[in-house]
Amino acid sequence: MIGWALRWMMVWCGVAVVCAAVIDGGGWLPPVGAARPDLAAASAAQAEAAPAAPVDTLVYPADARGHVLLDAVVNGAPVRFLVDSGASLVTLTPADARAAGLSPHQLVFDARASTANGVVRMAPVTLRDIRLGQLSIGEVPAAVIENLGVSLLGMSFLNRLRSYEMRDGKLTITW
């Protein structure tokens, strides 16, 4: 019982640190209500724009600040993610969770995390699948966090890859 409690405490502490970084991050988040292009088409374009790579590799460029924003499909719905290897879990905004078929009535916000801006409520969920181009990973542990500005592609997804590497301003994902 103590081991289980400690494990979950570590998971939520990691999510809290990510939340603090996102909330405190400042100007790199897109403005609320900003127009978003067709995310599924953008994801395919990003993957195709990469130089010739093996079939089981995707390459995404970082923005001017070094952040990698990519478009994925979660439970069949397009979602824009900030890649965050410091996040223990994939975390979704309430809007992205709703788009991915997670009804607000199904979400139980019974977990909390402390951030630089105070305590946030979270609802643990399991995502049926996350797809990036031809890569698909199923049954991904995640959380929905209230007042999150952008969804985060965290370690509950990244740990399932063969490898991921940030080099020369490009994120390379291999599976």
**Structural domain spans, the chain:** 2-25+38-174
Is the model more confident about 91 or about 11?
91
Residues 86-129 pLDDT 10s: 888 999 999 999 999 999 999 999 997 654 456 788 999 999 99
Query: What does the pLDDT read at residue 147?
Result: 84
Structure tokens at 171: 């994120």
CATH of domain 2-25+38-174: 2.40.70.10
pLDDT for position 112: 79
pLDDT given for residue 28 in this prediction: 45
What pTM did the predictor assign? 0.69
* pLDDT score of 120: 80
Q: Which of 132, 162, 143, 139 is nearest to 69 (CA)?
A: 132
